[in-house]
Amino acid sequence: MEPILSLKNVCSYYDKVQVLYDINVDVYPGEIVSVIGANGAGKSTMMKTIMGLVHMGRGQVTFDGKKLNRMHAHKICKAGIAYVPEGREVFPNMTVLENLEMGAYCRSYTAAQMNEKLEEMYTMFPRLKERLKQKAGSMSGGEQQMLAIARGLMSDPSMVMLDEPSLGLAPVIVDDVFDVIHNINTVKKLPVILVEQNAYMALSISNRCYVLENGRIAHSGKSSELIQSDVIRETYLGG
């Protein structure tokens, strides 16, 4: 089986400062791949590199058979990758409905197709349907996270990338968010890349995991094996 996403020897830079060093990552259809590591390890930079938001100085990113090198972010979105950024980044002064509609900007939906997609989101996220006319900025952190995920799904993606979806959320809401991630993978059959500081949750839900340290991949393997590793447990799981 060929990977749907492949990073080969990717090196990324902020101006002239190198942040990622020879990153090799594969994501296969139907799996959840988690990426864990300390603050500043390069996790978010890897996601932004895939999306064309950070300069890739060397290497290659391939998605669904297409090379993404030097492709603009909106075209990468159109190619089938939905990116839910760290901090949610909803449009605070726009309503829930307007945020959802913005998620479909790269698709030329007919009115009927748009309504069908919206109804799909209302089924997955019933709380959003109750708040369609509410300004996104006035919602709770958990509600904003659900909106950010739903907005990403409005683009009808072939793969979803989630950057720190549990950040700043109460534990009970974190459980709800991870239930949604599980459903995206199992019900919608979409592969998922999950960047997450909650290493235990990330390893618990994913098939495979990459561990980033100082811009390099320090460990990789099946999540079920890494969660038993003494090194991983001591470094990322509190012993």
DSSP secondary structure letter of residue 228: T
More reliable by pLDDT, 28 or 236: 28
Q: How many CA atoms lie within 13 A of 111 on its CB side?
A: 0
Write the pLDDT tens digit of every residue in 145-169: 999 999 999 999 999 999 999 998 9
Total-model pTM:
0.93
Write the pLDDT tens digit of every residue in 55-108: 999 999 999 999 999 899 999 999 999 999 998 899 999 999 999 999 999 899
What is the dotted CATH code of the domain comprising 5-236?
Answer: 3.40.50.300
pLDDT band at 13 (very low <50, low <70, confident <90, very high): very high
Residue environment code for 44-60, b if the CB has 16+ CB neighbours within 10 A, otherwise e: bbbbbbbbbebebeebe
Positive or negative: CA dihedral 124, 126, 132, 134: negative
Q: What stretches of 54-140 show up as alpha helix (H) in DSSP?
A: 73-79, 96-103, 111-124, 126-129
Cα–Cα distance, 59 to 23 (Å, whole number): 8
pLDDT score for 239: 57
